[in-house]
């Protein structure tokens, strides 16, 4: 991989990090960060693969369509669906299955941890434990009767980082 492709891939990974932090804080992945990851990933694929980068576009669309369907039925979040599709551009087309497995595994571990944390500690205690030095909570505030959601942007970041670092083949 060329130096420019590596810089673009790193920029995309940085966008994923910002998205994960935003998702932790507000349960929203901003569209601007999705565009950043998509743009950096596509540019990196074009530098690394040239005209063969159309394969990445086809894969990204093939992943976005069913995820958009699930998002429309409120099974997953819209930002999560878009970010998973955008993250596919950060890895080689042959490694997209590993990316999806990594995101799924990280999501399962995150969901289990989130469930345990929400049942063991009252929500108020969690908010206080995860607060900034100024007392502002890092986690999204929810009404007591509102269902707890999982910040899946964290799982997307972990799954993508695992593939990019070679932790997943």
Predicted local confidence at residue 69, as pLDDT: 97
Q: Residue 137: is its pLDDT beyond 60?
A: no
Predicted local confidence at residue 94, as pLDDT: 95
CA 94 to CA 77: how far, in whole Å? 26
CA distances to 30, 65, 132, 144 from 136, in Å: 20, 37, 5, 18
Residue 169 lies in a domain: no
Predicted local confidence at residue 141, as pLDDT: 53
User: What is the number of domains present in the chain?
Assistant: 1
Domain that holds residue 25: 3-164
Tens digit of pLDDT for each residue in 75-105? Answer: 999 999 999 999 999 999 999 999 999 999 9
- Whole-prediction pTM value? 0.85
Residue 84 lies in a domain: yes
């Amino acid at each position: 991989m060329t130096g420019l492709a590596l810089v673009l891939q790193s920029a995309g990974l940085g966008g994923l990090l910002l998205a994960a932090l935003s998702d932790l804080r507000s349960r929203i992945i901003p569209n601007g960060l999705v565009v950043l990851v998509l743009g950096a990933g596509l540019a990196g694929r074009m530098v690394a693969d040239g005209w063969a980068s159309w394969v990445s576009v086809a894969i990204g669309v093939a992943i976005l369509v069913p995820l958009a369907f699930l998002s429309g039925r409120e099974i997953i979040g819209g930002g999560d669906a878009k970010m998973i599709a955008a993250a596919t551009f950060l890895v080689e087309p042959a490694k997209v299955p590993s990316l999806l497995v990594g995101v799924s595994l990280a999501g399962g571990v995150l969901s289990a941890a989130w469930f345990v944390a929400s049942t063991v500690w009252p929500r108020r205690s969690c908010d206080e434990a995860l607060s900034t030095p100024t007392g502002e909570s890092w986690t999204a505030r929810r009404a007591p009767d509102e269902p707890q959601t999982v910040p899946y942007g964290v799982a997307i970041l972990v799954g993508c980082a695992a593939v990019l670092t070679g932790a997943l083949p």
